[in-house]
Amino acid sequence: MKETSRSARRRGRRPRPRSAVPVALVAAGALVCLVVAFRPGGHPADAGRPAASAAGGSRETSDPGRATAAGSTSPTAGRSPDPTVSPSVSARPSGTSARPSASTAPRAAATAASLAGRIRPGAVYRGVATTYDAGNGDGSCSYGPSDDVLTAAMNHTDYETSTACGAYVLVRAAGGATVTVRITNECPTGCAPGQLDLSAQAFARLAKLSAGRIPITWKLLSPGAPGTVALRYKTGSSRYWCALQVIGHRNPVARLELRSDGGWRRLPRTAYNYFLAEDGGGCGGTVRITDIYGERLTVEGIALRPDAVQPTRLQFARH
């Protein structure tokens, strides 16, 4: 009723000028803005900003490659590798190995096939096992006397001018018994391809010695912990003639080179398992050894000391 009477009283007043109406509307709008601005919870000035994060934390993307320490990011983390940079293979200490990636495995297999000669990684060979008296452990490979009684003499064909020397092979009998032997000797020409002449101790792991001759299969191994590689100059070696031997290698040796004035010089291999430099070029210098997988070990500081086993800190990788 009050509101009705007030309106009635206003109708009896003198009309205001038209120009006063817009001014009144503007004033009313300003009043509304002030009311909204100071109303609890009203923040029109923040309408275009993101909501504040919870205290004590931060919000990041779900890209795991960018996260480093808690609550921080790295400017380089999560980036794609530079396509112009190729990975490199560094020398590995003795007893370590690296598994080849899918892209390098075919290349490694091809390298092994080209360097291995007759005894190739992954191949299974069939033949017979016979036995002989290994004596003091010495043989055609010229390693000298040894306490290692689990040895074998490789047939002449697979011996391949001492290429088989030092190789570790797993021998399996028809009944399933196995023995791992190291090649230290050559079986005479009477031994057929695939045949192994085992030490009596090794043969006894497969069958009774009275059997004399049994069918077998065998394959190349890359054993776990054979120690480190050593080098030995043959008796009579000098700066004018030398012969050099590799001892204690995990994988069969494919090449031996000496560094001379003209670069790396590859030495021929003898049937008694020495690499020969008849003119002395490079004797007493840096030596580079390559196994059948293509890995190279470079050895420096080996003195030209005949008939002395000189150890290194190097070993080929396990395969």
Alpha carbon of residue 44 to chain centroid: 62
Please give the model's pTM, rounded to 2 decimal places.
0.67
Q: Closest by alpha carbon to 101, among 113, 86, 114, 122?
A: 86
Gap between the Cα atoms of 207 and 192, Å rounded: 20
Tell me the pLDDT tens digit for each residue of 169-205: 999 999 999 999 999 999 987 899 999 999 999 999 9
Q: What is the pLDDT of residue 14?
A: 38
How far apart, in Å, are the Cα atoms of 179 and each of 48, 205, 250, 284? 78, 6, 17, 39
Question: What tokens appear for 203 in the block?
Answer: 């043969």
3-state secondary structure of 31: helix
Gap between the Cα atoms of 308 and 234, Å rounded: 8
Tell me the pLDDT tens digit for each residue of 96-144: 444 444 445 566 666 766 898 899 999 999 999 999 999 999 999 999 9
Q: What is the pLDDT of residue 178?
A: 98
Tell me the pLDDT tens digit for each residue of 264-303: 999 999 999 999 999 999 999 999 999 999 999 999 989 9
Q: What is the mean pLDDT of residues 63-76?
A: 31
Q: What is the pLDDT of residue 92?
A: 40
Q: What is the pLDDT of residue 226?
A: 83
Tell me the pLDDT tens digit for each residue of 210-265: 999 999 999 999 999 789 999 999 999 999 999 999 999 999 999 999 998 889 99
Name 129's bridge partners.
Answer: 196, 214
Q: What is the pLDDT of residue 86?
A: 26
CA atoms within 13 A on the CB side of 139: 28
Q: In what order do the strands lie in the sheet with 296-299?
A: 263-266, 253-260, 287-291, 296-299
Is 66 a residue whose pLDDT tops 90? Answer: no
Angle 67-73-79 from CA coordinates, rounded to 5° = 70
Gap between the Cα atoms of 246 and 244, Å rounded: 7
Q: What is the mean pLDDT of residues 24-35?
A: 39
